[in-house]
Chains A and B, each alone.
Chain A
């Protein structure tokens, strides 16, 4: 025989009142007739968490690639090379500009609108030595030599100081 313990009156009444039957909302039939597969309340939170994790992972990968393998960041280069002689010959063939280069952290070069952009990797950023016929007077790190204008460009200007050690006096 199963013993059925009777709860106290006040609690039984509280439970009956607190858990009383209610009317279903009218829109329930619409939900049944046109089932909503997604449950936004739950999935938006899930998606937000996943998106956050994906974004963090993506940022970590970018930082890793940018910091550890800065060469990969120069993806838009038309010539990929670390050989100064090869770059010098390619630039001359493309533009007629003769650009003597130091060996070092060269990663390649591009020609855009008559300007040569020679790319170096330096720490966390790529640095570009821009060579052209006309000097940009507004450029901070620029100089002229042999009738050619040279300018250094980088997303992080502090990085340029190291380059000037080699290029001053061009």
Chain B
């Protein structure tokens, strides 16, 4: 079955998401809703890594990830007045990120710059140079294969493996059933298993 990429619909429910706002978060969001600059900066600092990581793992491109993350925070700021205090903020935020990802136009190959990744790997401490390079190469392979998945399969894979969300949480963000999430993940796993079989031969993720 071919899936059509498209924007994700409204979140059906948010109280069962599991990530509830604590009093501090609620104060920050309320301050944002009053137009407090420092509060928005604090909100940005608290969530920038998650937003950027999802964008990067979805797009596979640092420049595209910056665009997506920028769009996400601008949309967040533009619509934070509509956020209800009884809803799950993270579910709401992830839905904005995911929609920004799906909206982002594909522009050329979505592969991480090879040189950057290898240089990052060499700089990383506590591993032999060979292991670091092999690890970087393996990570690039994974990212390249994930980048070839259909957009809606890619979204669930990124939410699952970058954010470690449960099927239920992904379903809530994606506005679909848990069964649909399971189906998309299963198909993604099969495609990845096929395309990443060379990693299995070389010893999987141990090296």
Chain A residues 1 to 56 lying within 8 A of chain B, measured CB to CB, are: 2-5, 7-11, 13-25, 27-29, 31-32, 35-36, 39, 41-42, 45
B146 contacts across to A, CB distance below 8 A: 15, 18-19
B105 contacts across to A, CB distance below 8 A: 42
Of all chain B residues, the one with the shortest Cβ separation from A22 is B53
Flag if B204 contacts A14 (CB, 8 Å): yes
Cα distance, A107 to B138, chains bound together (Å): 73
Which of B2-10, B20-28, B65-73, B86-94 forms part of the interface with chain A?
A: B65-73
Flag if A18 contacts B142 (CB, 8 Å): yes
Which of B11-19, B95-103, B124-132, B157-165 forms part of the interface with chain A?
A: B157-165
Cα distance, A16 to B158, chains bound together (Å): 9
B107 to nearest A CB, angstroms? Answer: 5
Count B interface residues, CB 8 Å.
50
Cα distance, A45 to B108, chains bound together (Å): 10
The verdict on A28 contacting B69 (CB below 8 Å), with A5-B186, A9-B204, A41-B63 known, is yes
A2 contacts across to B, CB distance below 8 A: 167, 178-179, 182
- Asked if B153 is at the interface (CB within 8 A of a chain A CB), the reply is no
- Asked if B119 is at the interface (CB within 8 A of a chain A CB), the reply is no
Flag if A32 contacts B162 (CB, 8 Å): no
What secondary structure prevails in chain B residues at the interface with A? helix
Flag if A14 contacts B44 (CB, 8 Å): no
Interchain pairs with CB closer than 8 A, number: 116
- Asked if B196 is at the interface (CB within 8 A of a chain A CB), the reply is yes
Give chain A's interface residues, CB within 8 Å of chain B. Answer: 2-5, 7-11, 13-25, 27-29, 31-32, 35-36, 39, 41-42, 45
Q: Which 4 A-B pairs have the closest CB atoms?
A: A18-B142, A10-B204, A13-B205, A24-B52
Cross-chain pairs A/B with CB under 8 angstroms, 30 sampled? A2-B178, A2-B182, A4-B167, A7-B192, A8-B200, A10-B199, A10-B200, A10-B205, A13-B205, A13-B206, A14-B205, A17-B135, A18-B138, A18-B141, A18-B143, A19-B146, A21-B50, A22-B56, A24-B48, A24-B51, A25-B52, A27-B66, A28-B69, A28-B70, A32-B44, A32-B73, A36-B70, A42-B105, A45-B107, A45-B108
